[in-house]
A and B are shown apart, each in its own frame.
Chain A
């Protein structure tokens, strides 16, 4: 409890410790802390900036998407129109072709019929002439006539 030299000892130690703290402890810690504070502040600013940019990019992307969707719809529409147009065209051209083919076939059939008729007509004339010749050769033999006629008929 007595006041003594401890007073001076402690004062000396106190001043030395404070000086040490002031020189070797406080500045290093303080500078590290304030530097981190700066870094964090910068980081926050950068983050805010990035967020802003992200928002911008997102709205831009949405715009682009909407545009692309509209374009795609338009293209599909056009394609559909074109397709139905092509179907219509194909239908009508097929119809025309069919009609043309039908007509050609009809004409060919008509030609064939005419040709057959002509040849028949020629053959009938020949047959008539041949028949007449036979009739004139046999004259009045009824049985012969009959035979002849039967043969003629068979030849027809």
Chain B
């Protein structure tokens, strides 16, 4: 590592893209990684403490706010918080009802959780990139990535959880045979074509969680990267710093749309995939 006080641009970017990682060092001992290289050496046996903490914290914010509204929910005149929460619930309920035509009490709360939680995680992207890491540095924490959705672990974990639900409901609604038939007798309804069908359909199936998780990760990672690059301008003279300020504002305004849209897309695609899992197709 170069001097921590005056990092080069590359070091600055790398620092911002490194998670606070706790895991098993190659020598078998457990501890925090003190550099990106150490974190990489840990391999699978590592956990991103910052991603998990922010993700759980934001999820708890969501649950606390909505739980508060739910426990005080009244059929009479709603207060401010209840109004706010009900707008979101209504929005998700309408969206879900227009896509998902089966009876399943899980789908709407699932979509609500995904939408609000992912939105909150994405929202952390709008916090200026240096604020929290600098504070963390003062507190003696080396790395601090505050946007959980720029961590592929987080987005893929959610996508794979949704994928597990897809498999579960496919088998529950169609049976193992029905599910396999769907995978193998489509799109060419002929016994000879089963291998080709299976390859095609299996790719389609696998593409669902991959596209779901990587889309969110890609959008947010790119957005975060641009914020970091803009932040680099702040240390390069007054004029460039002012241009950086303008750029930062413009990108934040645009990104506000992106983060809402990505949260919504994740929730809607989840509902769509689960609706497909429930649909017993005609052959």
Contact A2 B67 (CB under 8 A): no
Determine the distance from Cα of A102 to Cα of B160 in the docked complex, in whole angstroms: 131
Set A11, A21, A36: member contacting B113, Cβ < 8 A? A21
Residue of A nearest to B157 (CB): A10
B138 at the interface (CB under 8 A from A): no
B146 at the interface (CB under 8 A from A): no
B151 at the interface (CB under 8 A from A): yes
Q: SS class of chain B's interface: helix, strand, loop or mixed? A: helix
Binds A, one of B44-52, B256-264, B272-280: B44-52
Given A4-B23, A10-B153, A17-B59: A36 and B76 interface contact (C-beta under 8 Å)? yes
Binds B, one of A27-35, A45-53, A67-75, A110-118: A27-35
Contact B161 A11 (CB under 8 A): yes
B263 to chain A, nearest CB (A): 14
- One digit per residue, 1 when the CB lies within 8 angstroms of any chain B CB and 0 when it does not, for chain A 2-35 equals 1111111111011101101110111011111101
B214 at the interface (CB under 8 A from A): no
Within 8 A of A (CB), among B42-86: 42-48, 51-52, 55-56, 59, 62-63, 66-67, 69-71, 73-76, 78, 82, 85-86
B156 at the interface (CB under 8 A from A): yes
Contact B108 A6 (CB under 8 A): no
Q: Which residues of A contact B152 (CB under 8 A)?
A: 1, 3
A106 at the interface (CB under 8 A from B): no
Q: Which residues of A contact B45 (CB under 8 A)?
A: 4-5
Q: Which residues of B contact A8 (CB under 8 A)?
A: 157
Determine the distance from Cα of A10 to Cα of B157 in the docked complex, in whole angstroms: 6
Set A7, A20, A36: member contacting B75, Cβ < 8 A? A36
Residue of A nearest to B90 (CB): A33
Determine the distance from Cα of A29 to Cα of B89 in the docked complex, in whole angstroms: 8
Contact B47 A4 (CB under 8 A): yes
Contact A14 B153 (CB under 8 A): no
Determine the distance from Cα of A18 to Cα of B17 in the docked complex, in whole angstroms: 29
Contact B42 A29 (CB under 8 A): no
B271 at the interface (CB under 8 A from A): no
Determine the distance from Cα of A97 to Cα of B40 in the docked complex, in whole angstroms: 140
Count residues of B near A (Cβ-Cβ below 8 Å): 54
Residue of A nearest to B76 (CB): A36
B128 to chain A, nearest CB (A): 22
Q: Which residues of B contact A6 (CB under 8 A)?
A: 46-48, 51-52, 151, 153-154, 157
Contact A4 B157 (CB under 8 A): no
Residue of B nearest to A26 (CB): B109
Contact B109 A13 (CB under 8 A): no
**Can you list 9 A-B contacts (CB < 8 A)?**
A2-B44, A4-B23, A4-B46, A6-B154, A13-B55, A18-B106, A18-B113, A22-B109, A26-B105
Residues of B within 8 A of A (CB): 17, 19, 21, 23, 39-40, 42-48, 51-52, 55-56, 59, 62-63, 66-67, 69-71, 73-76, 78, 82, 85-86, 89-90, 93, 105-106, 108-110, 112-113, 117, 148, 151-154, 156-158, 160-161
Smallest CB-CB A-B distances: 8 pairs = A10-B157, A6-B153, A32-B73, A35-B75, A28-B70, A22-B109, A26-B109, A4-B46
